[in-house]
A and B are shown apart, each in its own frame.
Chain A
Amino acid sequence: MNNVTAARDSATPFRNRSKLCRLAGGLALGLLLAAAPAGAQDASPSGTGGVTGDQIKQVLGLEGKDAKALGTGLHFKLGIVLALTGPGSYYGRIQGNGAKLGVAQIKAAGGPDIELIFKDHKTADAQAGARATRELGIDGVPAILSSFVGDIGAMFPGVAQYKMLTLDGGGGTSDFGQRKPYFWGMRAIEPDDDFIGALKYWKATDPKIKRVSLVYFDQGPANEIVINNFKKALAETGQELASTELTTIGQTDYSATVSRLKASNPDAIFLFGTGVDPGYFMKQLVNAGMKTPVIGAEYISDAAKVAGPAFDNYMFATDWFNPEKPTNAWSKLFLQSYIKEFNLEPEINAANYYEDTFAIWDLIRRVIAKGGNVNSGEELQNALIADPKFQSVYGGSGTQLGTIELDTTTHTATKRPLGVYMSNNGKPKQVASFGIGGADFELTK
């Protein structure tokens, strides 16, 4: 092999380089131009969804507050770290919608001008999450809305270091995210708080169900906690554990799991799966000819699309936002404005991030009332600890808004309405309701 010709050949790219650079540049430019219109469709419809500032103030009980108390004109940076790309981008999109709607309505109601600073953790990429947190910290952002339990914990060190008050309305704290400084979960613990509702539902509707299998995805050391909590819930309802099956997030092939379930033959299955995974699971379970009733911990429309008709009998128990039955006046306002703004029905992810922006506003108002610095994450957290309660679109009734209450030690929600739902062809239908700990369980008529 002669290196002279090789050397000569390597000179050729230099001759063609300018052509290639132009080609590349043209491609990139074309791309940007092509994407811009597509982007523009999605580019921050920052509307309030047809709701006026007065309506918001009225429903939240803020009439009569002056501009200063509401924080009018203040500029506030709110970080928001979501799964914008990757397999979980469904969540990022919907959660972002909720936040955008909230921020627009807050401004219209005389609240501060909240700037949402979007960061992408690429669906549970730890490095991206750590980096995003660092960037927000460097930028002096005092508060963050996170997801995926602080990007599976990657954000914990950063939010503590930079003292950024972080609310996670997507994953909450789950089991492994509790008691972390500056990190607070704004929903029930998944899946532990769901167990009791599912088991009680089966107990009430089908006493023949005795042996229940738990299919859950790997959370490392938290697995043991999950299993123990499941056993505790079983003890309460008098059912027993048939088997436990471990899966991984993002798993698409459940043939091994299904075959093991066939062997252990449970009366019912509790499925702790996230994202589209339940869709794949149900598809394969049903196609294996198994008719075992399944209650899961999550529902997204994407999963239903994947499963197709296999999802018909899928049920789930969680702190779901039910658009069919908005419980209080604020929920109604949220529902109508969301539909108007996004042409979609809202669900849990949108609702949580929507109300969490209002929680941030609440904290800002409290800090202002104390004469403090709203741009200090520390002061925001102190305001939270002093009164760990916020208004919520969940629960309540009529003009009595719902409330979410947090535990100042574990940093997770102690009060949250949950329910059991049937997937019902894309419009989940509530069949039971219960509270955290299984309190007030009742079947829906």
Chain B
Amino acid sequence: MDYWWDILNLVLIFSVFAISLNLLVGYTGQVSIAHAAFGAIGGYTAAYLSAQIGLPFWPALVAGALGAGFAGVLMSLPALRLSPEYLVLLTIAVSSIVLAVVGAVPELGGAYGMIASKPANLSPLPGGDLIFPHQWVMPLLAFAAFTYLVCYRMGESAFGRVLRAIRDDETAARALGSNVFAFKVVVFGITSAFAGLAGVLLFYYNQIASTSVYGLDVSLKIFAMTIFGGLGNFTGSILGAAVVQLLQPMLERIVRIDPGQAFLIQLVVYGLGLTVLVRVRPQGLLPEGFSLLRALRPAKTRLASQPSAKPISSTVAAKPAPCAQTAGAAAQSSVILEVRDLSKRFGGIAACRELNLDLQRGKIAALVGPNGAGKTTVFNLLTGALRADGGSIRLQGENVRGLAPDMIARKGMVRSFQNVRVFARMTALENVMLGIRELSTDWWCWPNGTRGGENLADLLLLPHMTGRVERHTHERAMEWLRLVGLANVAQTPAGALSFGQQKLVSFARLLGTDADLLLLDEPASGIDSKWVEQILELVAHMRELGKTICIVEHSIHVVERLADTVFFMELGHITAQGTIGELTSDPRLAEVYFGTV
């Protein structure tokens, strides 16, 4: 019986690894194959401290987890701006560095590692020394359950929603006001801490810490468990750990020939098994979002998505006042955005030359001009996606040049994208919910400056309040979806919607941010006339709601319909301004705009 307890114990320890890796890879989309290396940091920390100063089990465990978590935070800093391929490379480098260090430093046992000086002891909890496998079962079940609960709470919440947005489209997430860097640091730190925890457990279980226990091949094994179990599904990770871990003992029982050959054949079957299994079920054993709990609770979610009547309804709930916005004095001036001498060069090309722009509150402005004039670049500069070379940008009187895009979004200036950039693997409702947040400047409202599910402290410590905020967010998001007429597709993945519907979703989520200034990049392009009409109505309605809007548009018809003011842009500079009528009656502009017709 102990034989099977032994296997279960290893499955449980590796579940801790796999679940935490799933949070990092499956939810946040950060591919790391250094997970076992963080386990090494945890295991070696515990080994060293228990050998040198006789630290008992619990303090050693905490020290190991914290050490690994800290290292994870350190690794995340350079990782913040790396593309996925380079991130994998970074994790390989970190893994190799960690293993090289622990494998060479004599105080850590050098190549042979460190043998435990005493077994694990759960005191002050009862149970005594944990020596035999059956003694380990309950403690390991508790650790695995703890990991599952924490990661589940993080993943299936507003916090997890932001993580998945980062996975799907980091730039769009940032443009909606999510402090992507902070989220990444937190996730790296926490998942590494869990890896460290598992590493400590592995050390005490095997009574040895050595580089072979935490090598790159172990990281790859954990990675396989996570992928195979199903990205974005923690139950799947446990299953994946079980299957991968069980493969060898199972084969040992079945394949009974000469031991030397038997072990090789086991490995062959294991390797083939990985290849075949991932081919048969590339999305993993359990798909994302699948959960026994969810399956038993269908009623609640379906209630929310009732079909909408009219697309534009005036029954919009009163927007809660954005709390704690600073610089209220200038808030009600008629100029919401003041741009002076904005410039940007790319090598020899001046994309933006001393650009001046004033946007009147509550009005719709249009930015028109020939292709290559630099219109989208202006949007990029205004929202902080590009760093300007010079000039000033004042939003509601406050200088925002040089701020990060998410900061600017939270200050009330958001933009839509030409190619929409919805979060394809998230539902329409989730897309809109991402934009909605309850701002707060309390010191623990980090990383997003919000209360509720995106705030880790609230999420883990104040479940009731978090639940309330979540329900509120849900309702508001549904209202915005009803406004744009998409309430009936609230539960559909945004990637499955038509382009026109995706555009509406992106507008809904912009509205959800409660930002006062919306920059819309070609809102009416790429869709047929039926949709165009709907969108025009929506944009006009946004003005009625008090929003200030600036659109980049090519279609004169759209500009005529919507724009109060038109800015004409040529070669990075605003050369004319006025109503559309004034501009079109100028022959020179007409020729520039329409080209040689």
Would A and B touch once assembled, by the CB under 8 A criterion?
Answer: yes
B423-447 CB contacts (< 8 Å) to partner A = 424-425
- Least distance between A183 CB and chain B CB atoms (Å): 12
Q: Which residues of B contact A125 (CB under 8 A)?
A: 212
Q: Which of B185-193, B279-287, B371-379 contacts A (4 or more CB under 8 A)?
A: B279-287
A424 within 8 A of B: no
CB pair A35–B6 under 8 Å, yes or no, is no
Given the known inter-chain contacts A154-B208, A157-B207, A218-B110, please indicate yes or no for A3 contacting B493, CB distance below 8 A: yes
Residues of B close to A7: CB separation below 8 A: 496
In the complex, the chain B residue whose C-beta lies closest to that of A18 is B280
A157 contacts B208, C-beta separation under 8 Å: yes
Q: Mark A248-264, 1 if CB is under 8 A from B, else 0.
A: 11000000000000000
Residues of A within 8 A of B531 (CB): none
Q: Is the CB of B281 within 8 A of A13?
A: yes
| Cα distance, A130 to B114, chains bound together (Å) | 13
Q: How far is the CA of A219 from the CA of B106 in the complex (A)?
A: 8
* B269 within 8 Å of A (CB atoms): yes
Residue of B nearest to A24 (CB): B276
Residues of B within 8 A of A290 (CB): none
- B2 — which chain A residues lie within 8 A by C-beta? 138
A93 at the interface (CB under 8 A from B): yes
Residue of A nearest to B495 (CB): A3
Residues of chain A contacted by B110 (CB below 8 angstroms): 218-221, 223
- Of A27, A28, A36, A135, the residue contacting B257 (CB under 8 A) is A36
Q: Is the C-beta of B255 less than 8 angstroms from some C-beta in chain A? A: yes
A contacts with B, residue count (CB < 8 A): 63
Q: How far is the CB of B276 from chain A (nearest CB, A)?
A: 4
Residues of B within 8 A of A36 (CB): 257
For B111, the chain A residues whose CB sits under 8 A away are 152, 217-220, 248-249
Interface residues of A in 270-318 (CB under 8 A from B): none
Tell me the bound Cα distance from A7 to B213 in angstroms. 39
- Does A126 contact B208, Cβ atoms closer than 8 Å? yes
Q: Are A42 and B258 in contact (CB under 8 A)?
A: yes
Contacting pair A89 B208 (CB below 8 A): no
Measured CA separation A130–B13 after assembly (Å): 15
B116 in the interface (beta carbon within 8 A): yes
Bound state CA distance, A127 and B206, in angstroms? 7
User: Does residue B592 face the partner (Cβ distance < 8 Å to A)?
Assistant: no
Chain B residues contacting A249 (CB-CB under 8 Å) are 111
User: Which residue, B131, B260, B282, has most C-beta atoms of chain A within 10 A?
Assistant: B260
Residues of the A chain whose Cβ atoms lie less than 8 Å from the Cβ of B181: none
**With the chains together, A124 CA to B261 CA distance in Å?**
18
In the complex, what distance in Å separates the CA atom of A177 from the CA atom of B264? Answer: 29
Among B1-28, those with CB < 8 Å from A are 2-3, 6, 10
Residues facing A in B526-545 (CB within 8 A) are: none
Give B204-223 as 1s and 0s: 1 = Cβ < 8 Å from A's Cβ atoms.
01111010110000100000
A32-46 CB mask vs B (1 if < 8 Å, else 0) is 100110111011100
Report 13 cross-chain contacts, Cβ distance below 8 Å, ordered by A residue: A13-B281, A20-B280, A24-B272, A28-B272, A31-B268, A84-B263, A126-B212, A134-B133, A139-B3, A161-B119, A219-B110, A222-B112, A223-B106
Q: Which residues of A contact B (CB under 8 A)?
A: 1-4, 6-7, 10, 13, 17, 20-21, 23-24, 27-28, 31-32, 35-36, 38-40, 42-44, 84-85, 89, 92-93, 96, 118, 120, 122, 124-128, 130-131, 134-135, 138-139, 152-154, 156-158, 161, 176, 217-224, 248-249
List the 9 shortest-distance A-B pairs measured between CB atoms, nearest first: A220-B110, A3-B495, A118-B259, A157-B207, A130-B206, A39-B261, A126-B210, A39-B257, A138-B2
Known: A85-B263, A138-B6, A153-B113. 5 other contacts (CB 8 A): A10-B283, A20-B276, A24-B276, A122-B263, A130-B206
